[in-house]
Amino acid sequence: MLNKLTLSDARGKLQAGEITAVELTQAHLDYIKTLDDQIKAYITVTEEQALEMAAKADKRLQAGEKTPLLGIPMAIKDVLCTEGVQTTCASRLLEGFRPPYTGTAVQRLFDAGAVMLGKTNTDEFAMGSSTENSGFFTTHNPWNTNRVPGGSSGGSAAAVAAHMAMGGLGTDTGGSVRAPGAFCGIVALKPSYGLVSRYGLIAFASSLDSIGCFGRSVEDVADILQVMAGYDSKDSTSYHTDIPDYKARLQDGVKGLKIGLPREYFIEGVQPATEKAVRAAINHLASLGAEIVEVSLPHTEYALPTYYLVATAEASANLARYDGVRFGVRKSSGDGLWPMYKATRGQGFGAEVKRRIMLGTFVLSAGYYDAYYLKAQKVRTLIKDDFEKAFEAVDVIAAPTMPTTAFKIGEKSKDPLEMYLTDVFTLPSSLAGICGLSVPCGFDEDNLPIGLQILGPFMQETKILQVAAAYEYSTEWHHHEPALP
């Protein structure tokens, strides 16, 4: 089946003329029709547009053009603006909204010849860790459809894991790329803050949001990042930096590198199978020539409350724009502006989004700003300083991506704090703005995937890709696939 090809194998066959982009795209569209009723990865499938994009890619291929993503079918998280294509943030409030422009990261994929298969499900406005908070439906994990795929980018991760896309875009505010990557058994990359333009990303928390990507190999995500990365004048937080060849060091191995083992990430509450697999992965890296060095990130325990003060405050400000006046759904309840505001926001937002708006509004309110929000920003700086100090001693840090494997649908949805705790190992690096990657490193007793998280210094994506590739090339975990039709 063409949709079972790896991205690199598909690229080779496309460039050799053995297959066409239209054939490859049609194979994916057919499989989506077969499987997505079970997985529910896509909110919108753009079949007609995908085939048109594939036909254009074929013309470029026939002209001899060779770029990494030319003709490659991909999934786009439905928080990224796509001109003329419904973009909902998985919220009833934006149902039917069609942006007048395409976001920079997505446009760069299109310019490189990638094919958009559709827009994928997410927790509403990217607020969640399981993709259960979608305003439309819950996405299911391809490894076990009774389990969550992780969140908030669960739709894209599930699509890639289930061969309904060769690669995918997601967003990571506190772990929303790495978490579903780990739960779905694929590679997931969160770039450093500012490396990939946020222009066209519908904001959740502006100082934390980062556009990342999914693939079934480290090389896949390196290819996608290569296309997306780079300065954009339309994004004031976009970082001026030279973009290296992200694949240049994939074959370099880890001999001589120092890998940090953070003592705060191996704590009570981590699933035994997860800790065993991650420690085995780190020992394997040592056998390849890396030096393992214990490090401390002493403010890790404060990352969770810090994140849920900073992120919710920014969410409260960002989501104030959804008032039923300018775009999105408008609900009417009596006469006047205020009744319309209340009806629109009351009926349009889901429970989790309302919870975060209320918390954020509270911490920004008079009398509480200094006590909560300002103090959280100071602690955020301490967390960032912890990483900078650690990276003076080591090249990268290795740890579990998630404390457990994928949990059952509905298992944590009634306890917000228990749900928030699932991101305990991804939140600190998001607050620090550094890069991170999750790569498959084993399975638990229920045959659910486990992810190894590799964190690197700011703008040092080549380092984490190098370490992840060395691990992937010398193990077999990435070859395992869920049992699908």
Q: How many residues does the chain have?
A: 485
Helices (H), 17-134: 21-39, 47-62, 104-111
Evaluate the CA torsion angle 133, 96, 40, 117 in order and state its sign: negative
Distance CA 201, CA 125 (A): 10
Specify whether 217 is catalytic: no
C-beta neighbour count of 410 within 10 angstroms? 12
Is residue 45 within 8 A of residue 28, CB to CB? The reply is no
For residue 370, the number of C-alpha atoms closer than 13 Å in the C-beta half-sphere is 2
Q: If we measure between CA atoms, which residue out of 480, 442, 157 comes closest to residue 284?
A: 442
For residue 232, the number of C-alpha atoms closer than 13 Å in the C-beta half-sphere is 21
Q: 40, 77, 384, 412: which is the annotated catalytic residue?
A: 77
Q: Is 346 helix (H, G, I), strand (E, B) or coil?
A: helix
Helices (H), 63-139: 104-111
Is residue 214 within 8 A of residue 156, CB to CB? The reply is yes
Is residue 183 within 8 A of residue 150, CB to CB? The reply is yes
Distance CA 31, CA 28 (A): 5
Specify whether 206 is catalytic: no
C-beta neighbour count of 96 within 10 angstroms? 11
Distance CA 164, CA 33 (A): 9
Distance CA 73, CA 178 (A): 21
Q: 129, 134, 152, 217: which is the annotated catalytic residue?
A: 152
**What letter would DSSP give residue 147?**
B
Q: 130, 153, 176, 217: which is the annotated catalytic residue?
A: 176
Distance CA 130, CA 408 (A): 10
Specify whether 152 is catalytic: yes
Distance CA 42, CA 56 (A): 23
**Can you state the angle between helices 461-473 and 218-228, rounded to 10 degrees?**
160
Helices (H), 189-333: 218-228, 272-287, 303-318
Active site residues: 77, 152, 176
